[in-house]
A and B are shown apart, each in its own frame.
Chain A
Amino acid sequence: MTGTFSKFKSDQIPAYLLALLLIVSLLAPVLPLQDPLLMDTASRFAGPSAQHLFGQDEFGRDILVRLIFAIRNSLIVAFAAAVLAGIFGTALGVLAGYSRGLTEMLAMRFIDIVLCFPPLLLAMLAVTLYGPGPVTLIPVLAIVFVPSFTRVAHASVLSVRSQDYVEAVRSMGASNARVMFSTILPNIAGPLIVQFSFTVAVTVVLESGLSFLGLGVLPPAPSLGLMIGTGRATLAQAPMLLVWPCAALTAMILILNAFCDDLRDRLDPKSSKIRGQ
């Protein structure tokens, strides 16, 4: 879709924007920014000023700084959950696809069970039992996304495992572990990377939703979902308190989505046909 306007470089914009987000998030603690938790009750709800470009919130905290740290937090949670889900999901999928038989049956049934629950509900059940906070949040989000990695890995292994080069490595006497992880894995990396990027994007949405309900990141830590949730209370006095985190969250998700689409088009030659281009 991006190619319709101009063929050159415009499709790399999401990648640049994402890189910018990542760099700012990574460097946030060392950048010369205010403390995101620093309160200044004298200037509650103050409008934009030279020190506070986006103004101050209900406790007089700097909104811009809080937005930056909120984006950082949500990316940290999303990446951590996606990495965990990726490792376990891929291992399970590769094992299932390579060894077939009982292992495959058990693994795939496990996946079906996790998929029985709508993701948000599974997360809420876990929060009820273990209490809210990042220690619950990351493993729960990871479990929710294990199945998608397992499915992708499983399907890819099935199509690769009987290829000649796999047969060749095996007949040279390589161990099963070696065949699975140094021969098959690199050859199915493409779809898995695409899946990883999708998982990060979806996790950002899910985490913000949970935090919005007050069940994810806990105050006073800055989180976009939480900022939107608390901003609702002061809708009439300070609508910008609501608009900024909404805009930041939506922009972040759009950038991630665009990057994912782009990555998929590059790594998966079939997808561009499916999308009717």
Chain B
Amino acid sequence: MFWFLRRGFASLIMLWVIVTLVFMSIHFVPGDPVELLLSQDGGSADPATVQMIREDLGLNRPIVEQYVEKLKGLASFDLGRSMVDDSSVSAEIARRLPRTLELIGLAALISLIIGIPAGIYAALHTGRSFDRVASYLAGFAQGIPVFVLGTLLILVFSQMLKLTSAGGFVAFSQAPGKHMLLLLMPSFSIGIGLAAIVFRITRASTLEVLPLDYVRTARAKGLGDRRIVLHHILRNALIPVITIFALQIGSLLGGTVLVEYVFNWPGLSGMLVSGVNARDYPTVTGVILVISALFIGLNFLVDVLYGLTDPRVRK
């Protein structure tokens, strides 16, 4: 119990550090941040506008006061208002977040469904053709960037085979079938690279477990192959898979940003990209805070899962 509390506390500290850093980032910019934010059209900004935005962002007040204000806002999930259309950043994020989570969830599922069985099968048949082909494919899948894979999928499946539209979004409540169909290509683009990593780790850890005594004992007891694989090998081989998953969460979230953009999926990333292009500071920091919180939250979840599967780490 103590272990979980300590992990949770560490996660909270990390979150606080991120909030503080993101808050500070606008003050790190040399020169006047507001003028810089407005300068994308070239030419200098109108002083009245600069003054207005400075008041909007609270930049005219003392820094400590701004910081306290920001923390208060966050405590009530208020991330400020967009500089472009004055809409609430929190409300927009709340609308888009489920779509991003859906994508991450399905991608993770795809990677496990492909990676784990393939990894075990390859390890049980090392050096055979399946093992070799799968290993080469894994190297390829790990190398190809998500947005390239996504773009090529569009080229083949929507442009050439005309099987599905090039992307977009339909609410699940309106057309569940269409919704899942549109979700398939983006989550596959993210999931396949991850599947390659899961495959490699599962294969390697299965190979490590195979020659161990308890596997031999299980075999000596006369257990069937199926039972040995499921109950003796898989359980132990999965621990490193969980670790690797934790390490990949960052790139999973980054991959989501790119893939959502490729497939026009209206999740957090579309908001982030247009925010960055418009230099809409509240939107960008809002989305980054939420994704970072997600990153920390998922890491914590994986840690807990890890602690549950392997009691030895809870020390």
Contact = CB atoms under 8 A, between A and B. Distances in A.
B143 A254 contact: yes
A116 B275 contact: no
A121 B253 contact: yes
A235 to B, nearest CB: 6
A94 interface: no
A232 B142 CA distance: 23
A121 B254 contact: yes
Interface string B9-39: 0000010011001100110110001001000
Interface residues on chain B, size class: 35 or more
B131 to A, nearest CB: 9
A127 B204 contact: no
B251 A232 contact: no
23 contacts: A113-B18, A118-B292, A118-B295, A119-B251, A120-B258, A121-B292, A124-B284, A125-B25, A130-B29, A130-B36, A212-B258, A213-B276, A236-B159, A239-B159, A243-B155, A246-B151, A246-B152, A249-B145, A254-B139, A275-B204, A276-B203, A276-B204, A276-B208
A188 interface: no
Contact of A232 (B151, B272, B288, B291): B151
Contacts of A212: 147, 258, 261
Contacts of A275: 200, 204
**Centre residue among A125, A225, A246, A250 by max chain B CB count within 10 A:** A125
A129 B261 CA distance: 21
Interface pairs A-B: 7 shortest CB-CB:
A120-B254, A276-B207, A118-B250, A276-B204, A254-B143, A253-B143, A128-B284
B296 interface: yes
B275 A128 contact: yes
A254 B254 contact: no
Contacts of B151: 228, 231-232, 242, 246
A124 B139 CA distance: 28
Contacts of B43: none
Contacts of A128: 275-276, 279, 281, 284
B145 A205 contact: yes
Nearest to A250: B144
Nearest to A204: B145
B127 interface: yes
Contacts of A274: 204
A257 B143 contact: yes
Contacts of A213: 257-258, 261, 273, 276
B288 A129 contact: no
B277 interface: yes
A46 to B, nearest CB: 20
Given A119-B250, A209-B254, 17 more contacts: A121-B254, A121-B272, A124-B257, A125-B22, A125-B25, A125-B284, A128-B275, A129-B25, A130-B29, A208-B145, A209-B147, A212-B147, A215-B277, A228-B148, A239-B155, A249-B148, A276-B208
Interface of B: 14, 17-18, 21-22, 25-26, 28-29, 33, 36, 40, 123, 126-127, 132, 135-136, 139-140, 142-148, 151-152, 154-155, 159, 166, 200, 203-204, 207-208, 249-251, 253-254, 257-258, 261-262, 272-273, 275-277, 279, 281, 284-285, 288, 291-292, 295-296
A127 B276 contact: yes
Chain A contact surface mostly: helix
Contacts of B253: 118, 120-121
B140 A129 contact: no
A1 interface: yes
A120 B261 CA distance: 13
Given A125-B25, A275-B204, A257 B272 contact: no
Interface string A116-142: 111111001101111100000000000
A246 B148 contact: yes
Interface string A203-227: 0010011001111000000000100
Contacts of B279: 128, 131
A258 interface: yes
Contacts of B207: 276
